Structures are given as structure tokens and as C-alpha cells.
Structure 1
Amino acid sequence: MLLTGAQIIMECLLEQNVDTVFGYPGGAVLNIYDALYEYQDRIWHIRTAHEQGAAHAADGYARSTGRVGVCIATSGPGATNLVTGIATAYMDSVPMVAITGNVNVDLLGLDSFQEVDITGITMPVTKHNFLVKHIEDLADTLRQAFQIAQSGRPGPVLVDIPKDVTGQKYEYQKQQPLPLAPPPSPSEECLQQAAQMLDKSKRPFLYLGGGVITSGAAEEARTFAKRLDAPVSESLMAQGAFDAHDPRYMGMLGMHGTKTSAEALHNCDLFVAVGTRFSDRVLCNAGLFARHCPILQIDIDAAEFSKNIEVDLRVEGDALEVLRSLLALLPQKEHPEWMQQVAVWQKQYPLTQTAASGAAPKDIIETLDRLTDSNAIISTEVGQHQMWTAQFYKFRQPRQFLSSGGLGTMGYGLGAALGAQAANPDRKVVNIAGDGGLHMNCVELATAAHYQLPVVELLINNSVLGMVRQWQKLFYGSRFSQTMLDTNTDFCKLAEAFGVKAYRIHNNEEIEPVLKQALAEKGPVLVDCWVDRDVNVLPMVPAGASVENPMLEM
């Protein structure tokens, strides 16, 4: 059938089973938004307050579902406002398709009004991007974009479409989504070597990364941990891949990981890393990481092998396929002395926290965890509250935790929460934020109110840029340069101005009754929790130190 380019975009989205998109209209996407009006009964468009919020919402939609998130923005500043969200998705391997408008084809390269080379700008932070200059290429390009975003190691793809292309007409024929490119498969020899290493180990350490969630291998990872009889640690991106209530779970490893994980790393005889890229926040000092034992790394992306640390055996492949193959080769192992020692460390080094005034972040998050039975979808901004969330909320399932790990994007969490809530209307979604992050994205409270998305904005309000201030306290002689947030913002009044109900917590006694009220609300709600500015994130590994020797106090 003969359709406009904009209608072809809609039909291609429907081909990919897209039911929700996030965006903001503008001149170069007028044709697209006119088509969205026509297709509004099949595609739900959520207009965010800012294009960056749309990118983060598409990201949250994708992380919480495993499906591709879609965002739309106009040319020029609309497109560039997406870039931080695209880079966030790229660093954390999130499948996303960003559709941008541009000026007419004959105006490209002339510094036209609201023109920018968005494909050039986003080249380093996308898996691939496209500029569609001919309408006959439009449908196939969009189909390819979705295929690339989901194949192998997922990531964002940008499709830039000039306005005149969206207005032209062309014959459209419906097609099924393209098959995903098959992941690499490890050789039988490689699998046998890995199985021998696993069978020989007496004190194995199993470390899970975000790739376990991406590949859908959480159940296999849990079975593998039991078969290997190993303790388990996770990266920030892997929260929920292993049930935090399981006694095998030791908490995170890395700069703000647990002392138990550090002791297990120091004493293990085999380090097994699945679906992780060994970021600097995990390794800390790469030259001092696991020097005493062999490292077995399983990853779908060959570029991650020996990029940040040398490993003894590389197994390239999808985590799900590799774990299934290894389970078929590995007999049931028993390491009672090793597991008993881990249990001793867990009792010896619990995560603790004291607060001189206000409400304690640990108590806030642990109460939230209990009231939601560890089953809420939790997003965060970036900073101290992000680490406290990973430490104290006991995630049970994959795709519960949404946070910017690689790029560390302040302002990410609220948009991500909106995307997750739109995708999961029957789930409780909570964004745990700092006051610095909320200052960056508070406009998205208007989006929550407009669409009555019942997100809980849980504000850990310590009136400082907490993580940066913590470093200033430790390494810069307590010279708190520009980290005191003395703005006097009344966040409850701000929320109410946007149409969001608000509560405040002043001390520990108020935590449970206020959180119960907030969680019972049918619409969006903000909870302003007053927290002592001198509460620090501990344990902590200082820059240049070994991850095996974290600081337990400051």
C-alpha cells in the first residue's frame, strides 16, 4: 500500500511489536507526529518534559522488559538532547532505537536552522547509526536498526530521517522482524578447558555481570552456582541476577563492594567472571586484582577480553549458551569448608551504617525492601544513594534494578522509572534519588503527573553532592568546593506544583508509616527524606588501592 514516510515509520514500529514510544515534537518531526496522531490507538506516545528524559524513559522501558526502547526527537537541539541518554544506553548495553528528524535533504550540510550532524555526533556512542536520504530505504533501514540493537551485545541505534523523506510516499509491504544475528559459540575444546578448571577448583568465586541479565541466563547462573558450590558476587549492573536472599550471595565486588567479597577474592583459587567487562570500579587497581589465582572469563564480546585485565581462559559466547554447556559437563561439586568460611565472613563483616541526625539511608532502603517484599522495580540516579540501594535492597529477580553504571548519568533515574512504569503498569516502581540528581530532572515530575504514572520518587536529601563530597572529605582536606547544595529548595512544594503528592521523613520513626502511605498512593508521589550529610558509603576502596583491602570506616 502507498504510505507516507511517517506512516511507514509507524508500520515498522508495529512490525517490531512496539507499543510505547517516548519523545518530544518539533518542526523536523511534524510529519511523524501527525502519523502518531493517526496511530494513537496502537502506539502510546509519552511526551516527556525534555528529550533527555525521553531517552532515559526508553532506556528504562528496555531494561525492565528486555525489549527495544524507542524515543523520538526533532532535529538540532532536540537530537543533541538525546545524546546523553544514548551514551548511557551504550555504556550499559541497552537495546534502544532513537529516531530523529532532520532538515530536508537539500538543506543538509548548509548550517540550516536546527540542523546538526547527529550521526556524526553519536557515532562513538551507538552500535550503528543511519541517515536515510531516500524513502525507498526507510523501511529496511528501520528493520535493520531493530535487528542491530538486539543482536549480540545489545546497544542503541540512531536513525536520522530528513523531514521531506517522512512526507514523501512509497509502497509499503509488511514484513516479519529480521532474525537476530547468531552469537558466537565457544569451541568444544574451550568448553572442556573451562570444565577442567571448574572441576579442579576447591575455592571458586562466581562473579556475575550485567550480561547474565541481558542474555536471560539468571536461572542458569543460579543453577551453576549450586552445581559449582560457589559463593556469588555481582556487579552493579547484575543486581537481581542472583537472589540477594540466597546465603551464597556476598554482595557487590569493587569500590563499594562488601568486605566478604573482598576476603573471598583474596582467598579463592579460581575467579569465574560471567557477562562482565571488568570495569575500573570493579578492578580498582588492575595490577593488584586476583594475582594469586586463574581467571576464567565468559563474555559475548571478544573486545572485552584482556581489555582491562589479562585472563587465563577466554570463553567467547552468549552467557546462556555457555552456562548451559558447562552445566552439561560439570558434576556436582562440594566445597563445605569454603562455603563455611564465606558464612563466617558474612557474619564478621555485615554492612552497617550510623547517622548522627535525620533518617538513616540504610533504614530507609531496608524498610522499602521489606514493605515491597524485595520485588519492586528500583531505578536510581547516581551517587551515594545509588550505592546504598545496591547494598541494602535485596533484589530477587533480574530487570528489577535500573541504574546508569558505565556513564554514571545524574538525572537518569526518574526518566527510567517513568519508562519502566509505562512498561509494567502492575508493578511498583520506585526511583531512589539524591537531591543533586533531582535538581537535574525534576521537570519529569510533570510527566509523571500528566500521565498519572504511579512512580514513587524517594529522595535521599542530604543537601550535598554526597559522593563528590565524600571524596573531598577523604582526599582533599575537607575542602568542600561547590558540593554544598544550599539552594533551599522545598522539594515537597516543588512536587505539589507539578501535581505530585508529597510526604516528608525527618527521622527513623517516620520511615515506615510514611513509606506505607506513599506506596499505597494510586498516582505519583515524592517522599523527601532528610538525611545527615556526613553519612558515607562504606566499604570504600581508595583510588589506586587493591579491591581486596577496602576501608571499613572514615
Structure 2
Amino acid sequence: MAFPLSDPDSRELTGGDLLAQSLKHVGVEVAFGLHGGHLDAFLMGCEFVGIRLVDTRHETVAVQAAEAYTKFTKKIGVCFVTANSGFSNGLPGLATAMADRSPILCITSSPPLRDAENNSLQGIIDQVVVARPLTKFAHRVTNPEDTPRIISHAIRVATSGAQGPVLVDFPIDMLFSPVCRRLISWGSISSPFSFAPGLHMGAIEEAVKLLRSAKRPAIIIGAGGNSSQEGGEQLTKLSQTCGIPIFDTTKCTMSIIPPNFPLHGGAAGKLALLPMLGKQQPDLIILLGGRTGMYLGGRSGAIVPKENCKLIHVDVDGGEIGRTLPVDLGAISDAGQFVTALNSHYHTAPFSGTVDSNWVKDAVSIQHLPSPFEQQPEVSPSSKRLHPYHALKHVFSSIQPGSIIILDGGEAPLWAADVLSVCRPSAVVRSTGNLGFLGNGFGYALGAAIAAPDRKVISLHGDGSAGFHFMDLDTYKRFDLDIMTIVVNNFCWGMSSNGQELMYGKKNPARPISSLSPVAEYDVVAKGLGHASAKLERIEDIESAVKRLQGIKGPSCINLLVDDKPVHPITASMVGQTDDPSVVVVPYYDNAPRAHYKF
């Protein structure tokens, strides 16, 4: 039945309408995606109920924008991708959301149910089967009247326990078919959503005992520790009560820690420097909502010491507790609930520990140690290109405080992380996450800009990661978003090229497939997409250009030319090159003992 757009009340209620109304009922305000005819009934429904549609140039960007949106709003992030082709393009977004435990709802469509296994248009891949390993829940709706119940259930699965993505497939006939109102299955769509999981009070009592005996305690927060602003207030209260420094993992946004909080020690990786400085390591670590593994030094003991250190691990997923490292106390709980319970205890029984305040000062001050690159020339004598450390220091010194910083790439984010504190950001998102995925920054910047339109978003890429979704700068312009894209351009995959050099030596000129084009003009492409832009090759031009572009309403782009040297120290440590003949160097992982070596 055709209907006039000017008179939506005169038409039949379709499955697409019911889907849009269900989302609106649970508080969805924005959905990210890319058009496909399969979804038109749903998209029209969104228009009628007032859900804002933000369309991208690639489905991966849409799914990752939903992920960033949920990080900054604490609401479910919603995205939509069309049948098969769009779904396939969206898989990287589902994979990163699953790996990084981000609650998003992905809506997709498929051919009519009657055309199943009929080699129909965009119907070759069974999307539910493919999506299941990459989601917490994947389901195909076979009756449009079931939509409210299924949507409510999917969102509860996404946001409960260890959070993650969910996907619901609506065959096109389910979206375009009229709904029989008396058969609608409401499920729990009108029921309040459950509170975050609490914990056994015995865990608090044991934690108090461990804190009482600790002299060098440290708190490390992961993405799960960033559950709410109230959680941030409780965390800083606990930190001040006990005198415990707070560190964050690579993925954590830091947005819940107030700017210049005196007990914030920055990235947890800095703890690995303590022995090199002749300082003692922590004797107690409280890991809140974070997972052990690569970003906490694996099993090396560099960040979480192997000896003379107790570990309290708090996570909503009990399967993560003890997965990599032995724990002294495991608590299956929301991190905020755990911290709040500790604060309640100390409200009635004052903290009686003996924390070494001098050690705390040492641990917090590591982030402010002078860089070994500070005294190096700002311009490479050989290449005449800018030193990456100095170039980015000048960039971030010129960025307005309170900005959201998105870091995407290999070595470029490492150089940026060394200096970005000078702009006092309100939040930092390192987009590579547990999959080491590149290109996420485009979607993350989009989601952040939609979620926080009052803040400037700085999206920094290496020229490698910039190549993934640069065309979505068109999306930034169409929605007039306040995003500044910075391409740190050194004409190569920096971590790959430098890793090969570390492995095979400077005298070996071979660098298989690690070079990029020296003639790529990212600023020119950005200008063609409607962005204010600049190409920066001189230190003295950086401050004025950055400030000028920040003063222009809407998106902008900087093509920052830098040298590919020196090798960043973290790249060197990750490669793990050694002259020890008893081991096999396994780049980016722990080195392995050499078989049959005569010790």
C-alpha cells in the first residue's frame, strides 16, 4: 500500500515502523549506517519517530561510530547495514566491538524468508551464522510482531555482564509487511533495565585486608572501569582516601578522571620504567574492569610484577579473572559497584594502611619524565623532514584544552601519546584495541563528534591508517562536524618498516611491502571534500596553522610531514630483538627458547 510522506498516520504500520518505534521507546536517538533498499521501511520509520540517521561512506565506519557513541554517552550504540554486501563490510566493526567489549546493536536485512537458499540478490551468506562468533547474540526475526520483544532482549544481552555487540537480521518482507497490532509481542521492552552486577561482601572484606598491608598499591582501570561518571567520582574518592595512584590501560578513555587529578599516573605501561629508575615495583595492584594480556605486559612481569605483588582483579566476566595471571582476590562485579562498596566501608571504618607516599610521588611523576628526544634536532639532518616527537609536541601545544583525542595507527599514536598531555584532553581513545585494528579512528571520531558536539575532536592517523576510510571526511563535512583530522605522514608503515630494520639490520635494504607513497597529498584530497586544510613541513608554521584551523567552524585536515626515524622505543621493545643465541625472536610477542640449543 502506497502512502504519502506528508500524512504518515494514514498508512499501515509496517515492521520497519515497529522496529523504529521499539528503538525510540528504549531511548535510541541516533543510528549510524549506509543506505540499502532492504532497509527503507525501517529508515522511513526512523524519520517519522525522530531517530537521527547519520550515514557514512563505508559500513565499517558506521559500526565503529556506534561503538564510539556508546563510549561517550553510555547508551547503546545503534548501526544499520544492508543485506550481505553491507553486512560483510560491517564485520570489522563487529569484530572490534566484540574484542573490546563495546555494547552496540547492529540492524541488518536479508532477502524475503520465502527466498531462503534460492541464490537471491544479496542472499548468499547466512548473516546470522556468520555473525554469531563475532557477537553476543545474533537472531533472524521471522514475525514482525516479535520485534519489540527481540529488540529488548538483544539490548539487554549487549549491555549485561561482559558487554558486547548484538545483531538482529530483519528479512525485507518482515520490514515491509503490515503488522497485526493485537499479535505484537512486547516482551520486556517497557521494563526497567537491570542494574550493574554487584559483589559478595566477603570480597570487600578481603580487599580491605590486602589494602591494609600494602605499601605500594596502584589502581589500573580498563575500559570496564569507565562505566559511568559516578564511577569516576567514586574512583577518585577511593584514590584520595587511601592515597593510591590511578593508571589507565591503552583502551581506556580517561574521561572519568578529572583533569590534573594529582594521583593520576597516566598510562599503566609507565610502571614498567620503575626498575630502570631504581624504584620498587607495586606490591598490590587493583585491576578494575580491565583484562590482562598484551596491554599489561603479558606474563613478563614488567607492569604486573611476578613476585612480591598481590593482584585484585575486578571484572563482570569471571572468565577473565585468572586467565593470564594468578590472582589473590577475584571479584565478579561491575568496577563502579566494587569501588563504591569500598568507599562505603571506609566511610564507617577509616583507612588504616601505611602507603609509602614517596613511592606514590615517584610512580605518578614517571609520566612527566623528560623525553630522550627532547634534545634531538627538530629537523632530521639527513632527510630534512620534521622529527615526529617535536612536530607532534608543537601540534598538541597548539590544540585547545578539553578536546577529545582519537589515536589511530602504529607508530604515530606512540609519538602522540608521549606529548598529548600538553593539551589537557578531556578524553583519549586509542583505537587499535585488542585486535590491533587500523582505520577505526574515522568511525570513532564520527561517533565522538555526534555524542559530544560541544567538544573539538582531534583524529590523529599515521599515513597507513589514513588510507582505510579517508573518504569519510565527506561524512564529516556533510554533517558539519568539528573534527580535525591529522595525518602524520612519513611515507611508510612506520612500525612495519622499523620493525623489519630491527629484525634484519640497517645494512639490509629490503623492506617488503612497508613503503607508502611520498606524493600523496592528504590536504588536497581533504580540501576537495570541503575541509579547511594545511600541509605542514616546517616547525615554525605549526602553531599558527593549527590555531587557524581550530577557529574555522566545521571539519579540517592537516598533512604533517615527518621523518620515519628515529624508531619509537615501544616499537623496539615490541620487536624484542636480542643477541641472545638461546632464544628465537618472535616480534610483538614473548621470545621463545630455541629448541635443541646447547645451554
TM-score clears 0.5: yes
1:339 counterpart = 2:360: yes
What amino acid is aligned across from residue 385 of structure 2 in structure 1?
G
What amino acid is aligned across from residue 454 of structure 1 in structure 2?
D
2:103 to 89, 95, 99: 95
1:164 to 158, 162, 173: 173
Structure 2 residue matching 1:158: 3-state secondary structure: strand
Residue 519 of structure 1 deviates from its aligned partner by: 1.0
Contact 1:465 1:483 in 2 (8 A): yes
Contact 1:210 1:237 in 2 (8 A): yes
2-structure distance, mates of 1:376, 1:78: 32
Corresponding residue for residue 269 of structure 1: 283
Corresponding residue for residue 508 of structure 1: 539
Corresponding residue for residue 566 of structure 2: 535
Structure 2 residue matching 1:82: 3-state secondary structure: helix
Residue 239 of structure 1 deviates from its aligned partner by: 3.7
Corresponding residue for residue 457 of structure 2: 429
1:64 counterpart = 2:92: no
Residue 513 of structure 1 deviates from its aligned partner by: 0.8
1-structure distance, mates of 2:137, 2:279: 37
Q: Cα RMSD over matched residues? A: 2.8
Change (3 A) 1:423 1:247: closer
1-structure distance, mates of 2:19, 2:203: 44
Corresponding residue for residue 20 of structure 2: 10
Corresponding residue for residue 336 of structure 2: 320
Change (3 A) 1:176 1:318: same
Residue 343 of structure 1 deviates from its aligned partner by: 6.0
Structure 2 residue matching 1:358: 3-state secondary structure: coil
Change (3 A) 1:143 1:261: farther
What amino acid is aligned across from residue 238 of structure 2 in structure 1?
F
Change (3 A) 1:257 1:99: farther
Residue 263 of structure 1 deviates from its aligned partner by: 6.1
Residue 182 of structure 1 deviates from its aligned partner by: 4.0
1:55 counterpart = 2:63: yes
2-structure distance, mates of 1:380, 1:307: 28
Contact 2:198 2:333 in 1 (8 A): yes
Residue 304 of structure 1 deviates from its aligned partner by: 0.5
Corresponding residue for residue 325 of structure 2: 309
1-structure distance, mates of 2:577, 2:285: 19
1:499 counterpart = 2:520: no
1:233 to 247, 259, 262: 247
2-structure distance, mates of 1:294, 1:338: 17
Corresponding residue for residue 310 of structure 2: 294
2-structure distance, mates of 1:472, 1:244: 39
2-structure distance, mates of 1:453, 1:500: 11
1:376 to 391, 403, 406: 403
1-structure distance, mates of 2:416, 2:20: 38
Corresponding residue for residue 470 of structure 2: 442
Change (3 A) 1:487 1:110: farther
Residue 163 of structure 1 deviates from its aligned partner by: 0.3
What amino acid is aligned across from residue 358 of structure 2 in structure 1?
E
Contact 1:104 1:164 in 2 (8 A): yes
Structure 2 residue matching 1:267: 3-state secondary structure: coil
Matches within 5 A, 1:12-51: 12-39=22-49, 42-51=50-59
Structure 2 residue matching 1:268: 3-state secondary structure: coil
Corresponding residue for residue 140 of structure 2: 131
Contact 2:271 2:363 in 1 (8 A): no
Q: How many equivalent pairs are there?
A: 544
1-structure distance, mates of 2:319, 2:120: 39
Corresponding residue for residue 585 of structure 2: none
Corresponding residue for residue 263 of structure 2: 248
Q: Deviations over 1:139-191 (max 9, x none)?
A: 21112222222222321111111000001122169885543344433222221
Larger RCO, structures 1/2 (Cα 8 Å, 6+ apart): 1
Greater C-alpha radius of gyration: 2
1-structure distance, mates of 2:119, 2:499: 43
TM-score between the two structures when normalised by the length of structure 1: 0.90
Contact 1:252 1:258 in 2 (8 A): no
Contact 1:375 1:400 in 2 (8 A): no
Contact 2:448 2:457 in 1 (8 A): yes
Mean CA deviation greater in 346-355 or 419-428: 346-355
1:259 counterpart = 2:266: no
2:204 to 173, 182, 191: 191
What amino acid is aligned across from residue 541 of structure 2 in structure 1?
E
Contact 1:252 1:261 in 2 (8 A): no
Corresponding residue for residue 292 of structure 2: 278
Contact 1:147 1:178 in 2 (8 A): no
- Identity across aligned pairs (percent)? 25
Q: Deviations over 1:248-289 (max 9, x none)?
A: 3333234x8762497699522112211110122322334775
Residue 290 of structure 1 deviates from its aligned partner by: 1.2
What amino acid is aligned across from residue 202 of structure 1 in structure 2?
K
Structure 2 residue matching 1:191: 3-state secondary structure: helix
Contact 2:499 2:575 in 1 (8 A): no
Residue 313 of structure 1 deviates from its aligned partner by: 1.1
What amino acid is aligned across from residue 108 of structure 2 in structure 1?
T
Residue 349 of structure 1 deviates from its aligned partner by: 6.1
Structure 1 residue matching 2:459: 3-state secondary structure: strand
What amino acid is aligned across from residue 243 of structure 2 in structure 1?
D
